[in-house]
């Protein structure tokens, strides 16, 4: 067979509200997530005598701890068959960034395996498996924007936002998601940092995880406030649990020039991406 190549897109959270801690140890969420189709990893599926998983990013583990491998094992268990494909991951979404790269990769692995097996399980069963693997993963099985509740696994369609132009900035460090949620209930706001709702074209931008993440990683708070002070920027927000900050740009803004300024004034090693919500 010819290799099957599938894209695994990133996401941003337009809003993320933490309602409280649940009895099962997870947090009750109300979040709106949207895909970024032009920022995507790629998974390449090829026939193989047995399962193999490789990645072009040597810093990413490729053992049983990787979500792609966990997705493969879940699919094998559900179907009672061995995965006889080599999967190669081409990594473009930084990890530890709050952009959902690992979750998207896992969802795409499930979709790819089911496609190669003639749709044996179908979307409903894949969604159940995805929810067991991780709270964000079911979102990536579907198209479009979704409001996600529960611990993030309950999805309903949400209105598509305007085609915002975006600049994403990420420092060299990541933020472990469990740490962000673990610090949420006891964290405090930093004076002078804006945490309130930003309303933009009927979209409300807010992230309740900014409080715990900014308290521990002051550089991210500084980055958000630096962006909000720029004339090119209409709004700025931490994405998920971080460490990416995204800015919504005004239509005539030069995102690349703004990224260059950020590297000059904030951190010469900042990763950046310029694009829009729609392709």
Same domain (yes/no): 116, 250: no
In this structure, what CATH number is given to the domain that contains residue 177?
3.30.70.890
What distance in Å separates the CA atoms of residue 251 and residue 269, rounded to the nearest whole number? 26
What distance in Å separates the CA atoms of residue 277 and residue 273, rounded to the nearest whole number? 12
Same domain (yes/no): 133, 21: yes
Same domain (yes/no): 65, 137: yes
Catalytic-residue membership of 136: yes
**For residue 42, pLDDT beyond 90:** yes
* End residue of a domain, out of 110, 136, 157: 157
The domain tally of the chain equals 2
* Residue labelled with tokens 């190549």: 5
- Alpha helices (runs of H) in 22-61, residue ranges in sequence order: none
Instruction: pLDDT band for 55, please (50, 70, 90 cuts).
Output: very high
Same domain (yes/no): 117, 249: no
Same domain (yes/no): 105, 200: no
**For residue 178, pLDDT beyond 70:** yes
**For residue 216, pLDDT beyond 90:** yes
Instruction: pLDDT band for 152, please (50, 70, 90 cuts).
Output: confident
Q: Distances in Å between the alpha carbon of 17 and those of 20, 38, 42, 246? A: 9, 26, 30, 17
Domain that holds residue 190: 165-276
Instruction: pLDDT band for 279, please (50, 70, 90 cuts).
Output: low
* End residue of a domain, out of 140, 157, 174: 157
Phi, psi (degrees; rounded to nearest 5) at 202: 70, 0
Same domain (yes/no): 264, 139: no
Same domain (yes/no): 142, 175: no
Same domain (yes/no): 171, 84: no
Which tokens in the block code for residue 234?
């209409």
Which tokens in the block code for residue 11?
């996401």
Same domain (yes/no): 253, 203: yes
Same domain (yes/no): 11, 124: yes
In this structure, what CATH number is given to the domain that contains residue 68?
3.30.230.10
What distance in Å separates the CA atoms of residue 168 and residue 36, rounded to the nearest whole number? 11
Same domain (yes/no): 14, 151: yes
Catalytic-residue membership of 56: no
Phi, psi (degrees; rounded to nearest 5) at 220: -70, -35
Bridge partners, residue 32, by sequence: 15, 147
Residue 169: CB partners within 8 Å, gap ≥ 6? 223, 227, 244, 245, 246, 247, 259, 262, 266, 270, 271, 272
Which tokens in the block code for residue 65?
């701890």
pLDDT in tens, 66-102: 999 999 999 999 999 999 999 999 999 998 899 999 9
Same domain (yes/no): 172, 144: no
- Average the pLDDT over each of 37-41, 46-50, 76-80, 181-185 and give the range with the smallest value: 181-185
Which listed residue (11, 70, 170, 224) is catalytic? 11
Which listed residue (41, 136, 170, 224) is catalytic? 136
* End residue of a domain, out of 128, 157, 186: 157
């Amino acid at each position: 067979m010819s290799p099957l190549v599938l894209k695994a897109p990133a996401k941003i959270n337009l809003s993320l509200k933490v309602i409280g801690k649940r009895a099962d140890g997870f947090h009750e969420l109300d979040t709106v997530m949207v895909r970024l189709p032009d920022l995507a990893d790629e998974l390449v599926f090829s026939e193989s005598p047995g399962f193999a998983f490789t990645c072009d990013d040597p810093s990413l583990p490729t053992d049983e701890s990787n979500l792609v491998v966990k997705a493969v094992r879940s699919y094998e268990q559900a179907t009672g068959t061995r995965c006889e494909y080599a999967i190669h991951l081409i990594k473009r979404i930084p990890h530890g960034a709050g952009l959902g790269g690992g979750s998207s990769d896992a969802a795409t692995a499930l979709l790819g395996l089911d496609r190669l097996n003639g749709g044996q399980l179908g979307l409903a069963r894949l969604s159940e498996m995805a929810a067991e693997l991780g709270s964000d993963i079911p979102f990536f099985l579907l198209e479009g924007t979704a409001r996600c509740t529960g611990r993030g696994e309950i999805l309903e369609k949400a209105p598509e936002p305007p085609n915002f132009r975006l600049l994403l900035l990420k420092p060299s460090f990541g933020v472990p998601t469990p740490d962000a949620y673990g610090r949420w209930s006891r964290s405090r706001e930093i004076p002078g940092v804006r945490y309130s709702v930003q309303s933009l074209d009927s979209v409300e931008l807010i992230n309740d995880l900014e409080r715990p993440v900014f308290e521990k990683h002051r550089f991210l708070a500084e980055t958000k406030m630096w962006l909000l002070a720029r004339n090119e920027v209409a709004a700025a927000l931490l994405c998920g649990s971080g460490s990416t900050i995204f800015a919504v740009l005004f239509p005539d803004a030069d995102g690349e020039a703004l990224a260059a300024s950020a590297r000059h004034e904030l951190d010469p090693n900042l990763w950046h991406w310029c694009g829009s919500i729609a392709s």
